[in-house]
Structure 1
Amino acid sequence: MKHGILWIGFLLIITSTSLAQKGLSRTEAESLSVNEWALEKHRLLPAAEKVWAEGIIKFGKYTMPIAYRVFGEKPADGRSLYISLHGGGNAPPAVNNQQWENQRTLYPISEGLVIVPRAPTDTWNLWHEDHIDNLLDSLIRYGVILEDVNPNKVYILGYSAGGDGVFQLGPRMADRWAAASMMAGHPGDANVLNLRNVPFAIYMGGRDTAYHRNTLAVSFNHKLDSLQKLDPNGYVHDFHLYADKAHWMDHRDTIAIAWMASFKRNPYPDKVIWVEDNRVQHRFYWLSAPVGRLEKDATAEVSIHGNEIRISKNTFQELNINLNDQMLDLNKPVSVTMEGKVIFRKKIKRTLSAIQKTIQEYQDPTMVFSAKLVLEGKKIRLSYKNNSTINE
């Protein structure tokens, strides 16, 4: 296997110059995407094996133990992955350790890899501090590499403080999830707009009055109702308020597993609404932005209609629109409209550099892009012509 990987790398080096000059065909782009992912997978494999062997994952100064288990036979399209977040929060370590143990017993899974992480801290916001996103990203990657997880079948759920985490992580990491379920948590300042393409379920006890969890859950559901009325193709959601229950719902929320499992992620939704949270992200579905130019509250709303890209809103300093042939026909001209005006119309080259960059950015075999447009202000430029602005 090692010699095969090295041979692929050698072939890519000797052909990269000519490919850059003439661009890639669809077949070449798809083949190179597979090969480049094989190289990236090979590079990541030692780190993944170390985490699985030790049962601990690290990011910076943070250490997160994990308990994981595989259930059922592997489906033809790969395993499901459930990331299940425990409760507790601002409590002594022993309390959070007990909650971690308890979380492993709450939800019956018939198929899939289940990862129950132990929060790295014992703070009130233990599941939505900045480092959590990096740790969960790595867990997803390693599950794909080691357990043949289908990245389009990744689900997140959590109880109490874990539910707080799902309210926050569901929207801000929306492009990772096939579906999300929140149990007995508090939404805080969670941004509902980013949930346009993530089925989101809420489970709450009607008598769970602490911190106004019950009334805030109702309010959050009303927001989803309103958004879905305006956008019937988005904001799929499910709401369960158990009137006779307080903070503990006596396992009634276990129906969430079957509900979530009925969905798969669409990595290329025809419409993306991206609002940066306090914890900024560098990518969101097929949109991305340079790490050094990210800002809280930056917003983009972009959709694809045939070979037309419509930009309804953008406040990012620089916004990358990542494309491939599963989204539109790159053999034909692509047009971009903004404020009702065509600002770009041109055929776009598929390039090896775009494939390599998006594999590094996403590290997801189902989110590889062979072409990239860059939006700055109201002007579009091609990523492979860094100094040329095209406005035609």
Structure 2
Amino acid sequence: MNTKVLPLLALIIPMTWVGCIEKKIVTADSNQGLEQWLAKPISEREPLENMDFAAAPLSKEQAERFTDRLFRDHQQQVLRTYQQQWDSRELQLDGLNMPFYYQVVGDAPADGRSLYLSLHGGGNTRPEANDRQYDNQKHLYDQTLKGMEGVYLAPRAPTNTWNLWHEAHIDDFFTTLIQLAVALENVNPNKVYLLGYSAGGDGVYQLAPRMADRWAAAAMMAGHPNETSPLGLKNVPFALHMGALDAAYDRNSKAREWKLLLDSLENQAPGTYRHQVVLHEGLGHWMKLQDAVALPWMATHRRNPIPEKIVWKQDDRHHRRFYWLGVPEEQIETGGEIHVEYNPKNNEINILSNYSSKLELLLNDRMLDLDAPITVKYQGKTLAEKRVKRSLLSIHQSLSHRGDPDLAFPCVLTVIDNERVME
């Protein structure tokens, strides 16, 4: 129907009918526009922000449907690029290679399989020594896995440096591995777990907080935290296992420090810094697999991709988005902290602290009522009460960034200088 006739129709039919007609036209245009856009090869697609249909307002039901459609397209693109590498068990990114081993155990649950990313020890040593550690990690927990379900995936670090599991490229490798496991092995993105031993434990200390929005839980075995902070572990259950006699690099004393830190954080915010810390008496660096109890402990937890309270402490490996928050690249500060919470009952968001002059609030219908005004506050002071608009463009941008359907957001509000709010 030509939208130019709508004013004439309004003279002869009820306005509620006009609203329905307008909604159907928008829906039809969005559906047709999206399908035509998706039908083109990626190299021939115009930027979605240039397409009028991408900015059209959507209903809740439309947003859900388009999220599913865009996610399936994203998966297809990931598989076109990486499935051959998955099949050959060697992922390639930016000139680096990450071989990996995986096995599937147990029957697949109705809600999808679990994924365990298991990081080997070693570090700044000969490649052959790290290869041996990699081979060891492949089957380290076979006995424990017999009573479990899931995909157990042990990657081989792309480098042989002391910080082999927390170099900047690791985050991108793991993001891609997770997306491939979801697409090819029926993994539930809310059941992804991280664990590692020795140098692999060093990596868990670092990656668990800086990639917290990916994990359902994490387990650190016999590693060292170096300079990292546990603040980002809010909402990520964290197991820490250490031989009580493991004194090299002060690993045991650091484990005791982290127990006190985690106890304090949990006491201040009960239920948000869940943890299991065990120092195994009489044992050194090798814990004789007593640490294996961490795997069934992790399996009892699920990721909440939209927690009501977030603490985001920016690592020196920068991330532009974290759960339902975003900061422009040029605004990111290493060590910068953002504390934000939302309240579904009051349909509001309260920014408790924020270092960035631009803070993106990514919203979906599982968080707040997007059809009602949303109140945005800074330290309790109301900045705005705004109605938001769902759009294809916002959904596409969030899916493109992380490829995770549970981290897809149809609405974005931007807080400027902690004083005003823009859509």
Is 1:274 the counterpart of 2:312 in the alignment? yes
Per the alignment, residue 390 of structure 1 pairs with none
Normalised by the size of structure 1, how large is the TM-score? 0.93
Equivalences for 1:152-167 in 2 at 5 Å?
A: 152-167=190-205
Distance 2:64 2:215 in 1: 24
Per the alignment, residue 136 of structure 2 pairs with 102
Offset of 1:11 from its aligned partner? 7.7
Is 1:188 the counterpart of 2:222 in the alignment? no
Query: Pairwise CA RMSD of aligned residues?
Result: 1.8
User: Which amino acid is 1:378 matched to?
Assistant: N
Equivalences for 1:161-180 in 2 at 5 Å?
A: 161-180=199-218
Per the alignment, residue 390 of structure 2 pairs with 350
Structure-2 change in CA distance of 1:101 and 1:11 (3 Å): closer
SS of 2:257's equivalent in the other structure is helix
Is 1:10 the counterpart of 2:50 in the alignment? no
SS of 2:396's equivalent in the other structure is helix
Distance 1:134 1:85 in 2: 15
Distance 2:340 2:279 in 1: 34
User: Which amino acid is 1:156 matched to?
Assistant: L
Is 1:209 the counterpart of 2:247 in the alignment? yes
Larger mean CA deviation between 298-307 and 205-214 belongs to: 298-307
Among 166, 189, 199, the residue aligned to 1:151: 189
Among 66, 73, 90, the residue aligned to 1:56: 90
Per the alignment, residue 341 of structure 1 pairs with 381
Aligned 8 A contact 1:8 1:35 in 2: no
Distance 2:419 2:33 in 1: 41
Aligned 8 A contact 2:383 2:420 in 1: yes
Aligned 8 A contact 2:357 2:418 in 1: no
Q: Runs of 5+ in structure 2 lacking a partner?
A: 1-30, 40-47
Among 242, 260, 272, the residue aligned to 1:234: 272
User: Which amino acid is 2:219 matched to?
Assistant: S
Aligned 8 A contact 1:373 1:380 in 2: no
Distance 2:282 2:268 in 1: 33
Offset of 1:190 from its aligned partner? 1.3
Offset of 1:160 from its aligned partner? 0.4
Distance 2:278 2:326 in 1: 34
Aligned 8 A contact 2:175 2:402 in 1: no
Deviations 1:182-232 (A, max 9, x none): 000001111110001100000000100000100100101110000111111
Deviations 1:8-44 (A, max 9, x none): 6228899x735734x1111111111111111111111
Among 362, 365, 369, the residue aligned to 1:322: 362
Distance 1:53 1:47 in 2: 12
Distance 1:19 1:97 in 2: 48
Aligned 8 A contact 1:48 1:145 in 2: no
User: Which amino acid is 1:203 matched to?
Assistant: H
Per the alignment, residue 222 of structure 1 pairs with 260
Identity of aligned residues (%): 44
Normalised by the size of structure 2, how large is the TM-score? 0.86
Among 116, 120, 138, the residue aligned to 1:82: 116
Offset of 1:348 from its aligned partner? 0.6
Offset of 1:7 from its aligned partner? 9.3
Deviations 1:162-199 (A, max 9, x none): 00000010111111000000000001111110001100
User: Which amino acid is 1:149 matched to?
Assistant: V
SS of 2:175's equivalent in the other structure is helix
**Which structure has the larger Rg?**
2
User: Which amino acid is 1:365 matched to?
Assistant: P
Aligned 8 A contact 2:190 2:304 in 1: yes
Equivalences for 1:23-34 in 2 at 5 Å?
A: 23-34=57-68
Structure-2 change in CA distance of 1:6 and 1:98 (3 Å): farther
Deviations 1:300-355 (A, max 9, x none): 11000121100000002322110001001101110011122100101111111111
SS of 2:102's equivalent in the other structure is strand
Deviations 1:287-311 (A, max 9, x none): 1122343221122110001211000
Distance 1:180 1:316 in 2: 28
SS of 1:197's equivalent in the other structure is coil
